[in-house]
Amino acid sequence: MRFWQSLIFTETEQLLEIARTADDLGFTGVVLPDHVALPEHTETSYPYSDYELEPTRPFLDPWPAIASMAAVTTKLLFSTYVYVLPMRDPFSVAKSLATTALLTQGRVALGAGVGWLREEIELLGHDFESRGKRCDEMLEVMRMLFDEGSGELHGESFDFPRVHALPLPGHPIPIYIGGHSDAAVRRAARHDGWMGLDFPVDEVPALIERIRSARREIGRDSEPFEIFLSPRGQADRDTYQRLEDMGVTATLLPSWAMQGGDFRSLETKQKQMEATAAALFR
């Protein structure tokens, strides 16, 4: 089992020290969230729980934040959970991600999703209903640019002649897809992994079978594939062993902002990270 730490709403001034601590303790990686501009009033609710997004909470641009953390670590991996692709264009994202891959020496992955906040996607100039198709074509464009540094596409969302976008990232960039829907599972099956939060343990076998079935349908079931999953409620070493036996390969540990208690200080966060490492993987 690989253990990743979520850094959502972590104090900016603490990120570099937290990254160093995670690197020293043997955490696999850390993930950062993504939003660009949050309307003060919305009618859209988060679809997977009762969580309500506060528009005044800070969201760093993940790519420079990741590059900064990579500069003070040696082994730690980095990903987004999740980067909202269809409210952007594929060329800018590919450029930012390829640059980050070079600066991190290949320690970055893209955890992507189609997004759920209609008002934000429309604010940035894109249609909400067609975001899935747009996301799929974006990923196709980005794969071409990562692999070859050039490409052309004549699709429904993007229609352009051959373009060039260099430099190449220098390392493969894993693409993990977040989301609970059947469409998200099928999209993940075409790439390198699936990411999900807050699942009861007894529902995991059925979920794993959905993912494996989607992989079998496209003939990719024998290839490596990451399944990131966070169980609902408190979990101990035995819980994570059960999940690993089911086929889960990585887990996202909850950010301190989503836990009870006072975790505002860097020292408190580091102490919990040390306890987690001792209990789960050291």
Tokens standing for residue 245: 């036996």
* Distance of alpha carbon 186 from alpha carbon 154, whole angstroms: 22
Domain span at residue 100 reads 2-280
Tell me the per-residue pLDDT of 119-173, one tens digit each, with 9 for 90 and over: 999 999 999 999 999 999 999 999 999 999 999 999 999 999 999 999 999 999 9
CA distances from 1 to 85, 228, 234 (A): 28, 10, 17
CATH number at residue 39: 3.20.20.30
> Which residue type occupies 164?
H
Q: What angle do CA 221, 139, 152 make, to 5 degrees?
A: 120
What residues contact residue 90 under an 8 Å CB cut-off, 6+ apart? Answer: 137, 138, 139, 141, 142, 145, 158
Residue 47's pLDDT is what? Answer: 77
Indicate yes or no: pTM above 0.75.
yes
- Pair 78, 171: CB distance under 8 Å: no
- Angle, helices 131-148/90-103, rounded to nearest 10 degrees: 50
Tokens standing for residue 277: 């490492």
* Distance of alpha carbon 205 from alpha carbon 201, whole angstroms: 8
Tell me the per-residue pLDDT of 8-67, one tens digit each, with 9 for 90 and over: 999 999 999 999 999 999 999 999 999 999 999 999 988 777 777 889 999 999 999 999
Please tell me the total count of domains within the chain: 1
